[in-house]
Structure 1
C-alpha cells in the first residue's frame, strides 16, 4: 500500500513539473498539439504576399546606418542567452492572447493558423522581425495619434505590419504600394497624389490618414472589424459576394469559407502580429533600431522646388537618408505648386541649418535641378462589356495586357459577362498639334540666330570666374561694380553668385580702370578666425571663406567633416601667409 502511494506521488510530481516546463522556455521544440492547417501552409511558399513583404526588409538600406539593437541588458528580463529561441505550449499562447483579447475590440483567439504565423515571426524570420520592432519605434507613435483622432482601435496599427512589414516602399504583384498597400484607384479616392515624381501612397503620414478614413468608411458598411480587414484586403465587392453566399451573415467566421485562402490567412496573421508585438521579449526578440526614430525627426514646408542632391550637399545629409525619410518623392525631386504644400522630413538637428540656409539650398547648383516635365496622364474608366467583346480586344483597345485587366477586376477566367462593367487604366498620349510643331521649329531657328549673335558679343565682353559663393552685393562691392547693372548684363535675378560660375563684368573698353583683384586681408596675421553662428555648417563657412572643408578640418584638427559646431566657438578658416 505504501509503495502504491509513493508511486502515485511520484507520478503527480512528474506531471506537475512537465506541465510547468511546457509553459516555460525551451531552447529546443515547444510542445505543439496544434498542427498547421491548409491556409497556414501558404506561408511556406516564397510567393506568399505576407512572406514576400517580410523578406523585402532584408534589402532596405534603412538599417545600413546602424548595427545597434536595444540593449539586451535593458530588455532581457528572462535572462536569455543570445542564441536562445524560446518556444511555448499552445496553452501559453492561448492564455497570452486571452489577456490581449480582454482589452481589444477584436476577437483575438488562438487556433492552428495563428500558431503558424507566430512561428513565422518568432522562429523562422527572427532577424527581420527585429527590424519590424525597430521600425515600429519610428512609425507607431504617429499611427496611434491618427487612430485615436479618428476614434479607431489602436490595434489597427498592426495591420501595416501584415500589409507591408512597415516597408514604406513595399510594392505588391497586384500593384498596391506603400506601407498601407493602397491600389491606385483607392489611393486617388482618398486624395493620395500619384504622378511621375510623387507617390503619396508611400508617404507614411499621408497614407496613414487615408487608411484611417478608409477604415472608418468600411466600419460604417459592415460594423464588424474582421469584415473590415477582409474588405481592406479583398475589396468590398468580393466580400459582399461572400456575405450573400453565406446567407447575409455579417460575420467573418461564417463567410470565411467563401473567401480565398490568402484572405482567410489575413486574420490569423493579424492576430499573430498582435501577439508578437506584445510578447517579443518573451521570445528573446528586441528591436533593431534604424538611424532615426519618431522623436528625432521634424518637418519643414518648402517654398520652391528642390532636389535631394542640393539638400544633401549643403546640409551634409546623405541622399540615402533623405530618401528613407521622404519615400514619396520617387526621383529625389520635390516639386512646387502654388495650390499645394510639399514638405521635407529631416533629422531635428538639421532643421535649423535648413531654415538658416534655405535660399542658398534653393539656388545651389540650380542648373542641375532635374527639369520636371509634364507627366503622362493616367486615366481610369469603366467599360461596359458588349456582345462579341473579348479580353484580347479590350487589351488592344486600351493598350494594356490581358493580365492587367484580370488583375484590375479580380477576374479568375477570361470569360466576360455581357453588361458587366470593367475598370481599365490607360495613358493619354500628349501628342503636339501641327501648329505647335511649326511654332517649335520657328522658335528653334530664332534661338540659333540669338546664339550666333551672342557668340560675336562674347568676343567683346570681359568675364570672370567666381572663386567663392557669396552675395552679389558683396561681389560687386569688391569690384566697384553696380549690382543692378551686373544683373541686367547677365540677365539674372538672383542675389547670390556661386563658386565656378562665370559673370560678365562689362564690355572690355569700359573696364580698363576697373580693379579686378579682390581686396586682400591683413597678411601680417597668421590666421583668419571665424565665430560660429547658429545654423552654420562647415560647408557654408568654407564657401564664405573661399577655402575647402578639408582645409578647415585640417587646420583646426577636427575629427571629421561632420564635427559638431557650437555657436560662439571660434575656428581658423584661412592661413593668410599660405592660403
Structure 2
C-alpha cells in the first residue's frame, strides 16, 4: 500500500477480477469496499440483483458501502471535467524526478544513498514500501527509485556489492533460547563479524529470544562433500532439524545410522547430508487463519501466489466461500 504505483495496479487487477464475478463495474466497486464474499451472499439471498442500483437500504449491507459507490461515481465524473466543477486542470506532463534501478538481493537504503551522494531520508521517502530501510533478504529482484542523475552511481555501487557478496545468500533466522552469534555462524557457514555487520550490532551483544536476524549464508565455502554437522540442543527433534536445514528426515537418519529417531541427546553431534539444499529456494507450508473481510484474491496478493494455487492446495472451487476462522494452507518460498 505504500507504493502508489504498485497499489494502483493491484487495485485495478482486483477490480477486474471483481468485474469478472459480478459483470457490473459498480457491483465490483461495492465488492472492493465491502468484500466480494459479502456481495456474493447478498446476490444469493436476493437473486434479482443485477446492478448496484438494485441494492436497497433494508438489505444486510453497510451504509458505508451504499455511500462509497455514489461517491466514487461523483469523483470519476468530476475528474473527467475538472473545470466544469471549479477544479484546476493539472499542469502539462510532469516529468518524473527519479530513475529506476533494479536491485537483486539484500541492500540497505541508507548505504546506497550515501554511495550516490544523496540523503538517506530522501531515498527512504522515495521508496516507502521498504519499511525496514532495506530490501528483503533472499534472492528476489526489486525496483528502487533514485534521484534523477544518480542511476549510474547506484548501478556501480550495486555492482560492487554484488561482487562482494558473490556466493552468499541472505536468510532470516529467528533466535532461540541459548543462541549465540558463534553458534549461528557455525550453523550457516558464516562469520560472527559478518552477521554483526549485516544486522548493525556489536559482535558481543546478547541475543534475545525471538529476535529476527539476517544471516549471510556462505554457500561457496565451509561445506565438505555437501555435509555439515549440527550440535543437538534441548527441545530439538529430527523433524525440526530437517526443517532447519531443508534436508529430509530419512536422509538424516541414514547419514547417522539412527534407529530410534525419537531419542536424540542434547549435546550430541549430528551429520547433515546434502546440506547444499539449504541454499536453494524451498517452499514451506503456512497455515493462515482467515480474517474478517478476507478473500482468496486478497490472500493470494498478500502471499504473492496465484489464487488458483490456493484453491488447488485447499480443494476449493471457484464459487467457494471462506469465513473468518477458516484455516488455509499456503506454500511460499523460504526467505
TM-score, with length taken from structure 2: 0.47
Structure with the bigger percentage of helix: 1
Name whichever structure is richer in strand by fraction: 2
TM-score by length of 1: 0.28
Larger radius of gyration: 1
